Amino acid sequence: MHNGRFNTHIPFGVRNGRTYAAREVETGLACQCRCPGCGRPLLAKNAGRIRRPHFTHYRVNLECWNAGETAIHWHAKQLIAEKARLMLPAWNGTPIMPNPPRSRDDSGNTHYGHNVGIPGRVVALTSAQIEKRQGDLQPDVSAVDAEGILLIEIRVAHAVGEAKIRKVQSDGARMLEIDLSKVRLMDALDPERFEHLVLGEASNRQWLSHPAAAQAWRDSRDELKHRVQDINRQIAAQRLVEHPRPRRSIRHGTQQIEAVDLANHEPLDQECLDAMAGLRIWHRGLGDGVIRERLVENWPVYDVRFDDGRTRKILLRAGFPDWKFV
């Protein structure tokens, strides 16, 4: 925003607590408007060959440097409150919530969760109050739509601070920001164009807090996490099968079982061994079944329940030909 031109071509003046465009009031001092920045009298330049009606200070005030920004901020809040409608932005993730969620498995493959897409739409506001305090917060506009309370911030010079955003998010409130920091002078001096930028433009606004969307994203992330965990269990089990090691005999109860010899080799990873539980196998002579739990510390000896109801204690040795995963 070019403050110099905005302060000599002020888009909106204030009269009796309300902002007006220059074309809405009488010419010159008869407009009875004051500067929204410094409060001094304004002249309405809206007659003759003036292409874009605007206001100027009645007497030059070099100390008034924020007239344009204040005028835009004030008039935007007023438009929302009076028109009682607003374009809500789409929600399609945030820098810390990439949409859809994604995760890599232990083989390096990327998996994706469900896309959480909330489209932008125009909503009616059943109420809209300017700078009404909401607990510890005082947003530019506090509105109510069909989903409940909606907090609205207008960005002209500065974006909403991180502390305020975290506070709103922790309170579970919805808040959006409308960015008018790039509004050009010609846009501000065109009432119809400016109204569209405030109420109807989809590209200049974003959600700072949307609890329902954030929860849907977390649900998608958690489902993906469990899915990748299952994939990693299968990967771990497959690696156990594909990398056989030297064997020796061990005793489990009264049974002599041939098992993996770990005396002079790297121990089998405990997580890898535990990952077998819950997987389905086929066993020659016993059929299909489910691995229920590991029975021996550091050894791949498992309790297996077969589909016919029988349970067996079985050494699922890497490379053993009588069983496989199904």
Task: Strands of 65-218 (E only): list them.
Answer: 85-88, 102-104, 110-112, 121-124, 127-130, 141-145, 148-155, 174-179, 205-209
For 172-203, letters b (16+ CB in 10 Å) and e give: ebbbbbbbbeebebeebbbbeebbebbbebee
Least confident of 27-31, 175-179, 306-310, 314-318: 314-318
Q: 48-69 pLDDT, tens per residue? A: 777 789 999 998 877 788 899 9
pLDDT greater than 70 at residue 101: yes
For the ranges 71-80, 287-296, 311-320, the lowest mean pLDDT is seen at: 311-320
Arithmetic mean of pLDDT, 202-215:
96
The tens digit of pLDDT for each residue in 145-180 reads: 999 999 999 999 889 999 999 999 999 999 999 999
What DSSP string runs through 194-250?
A: HHHHHHT-STTEEEEE-HHHHHHHHHHHHHHHHHHHHHHHHHHHHHHHHS---EEEE
| Mean pLDDT (the chain, rounded) | 85
**41-45, 143-147, 199-203, 239-243: least confidently modelled range:** 239-243
pLDDT digits (tens, 9 = 90+) for 228-286: 999 988 888 777 666 554 444 444 444 444 443 333 333 445 556 666 778 888 888 88
The pLDDT of residue 103 is above 90:
yes
Q: Which of 280, 287, 278 is nearest to 322 (CA)?
A: 287
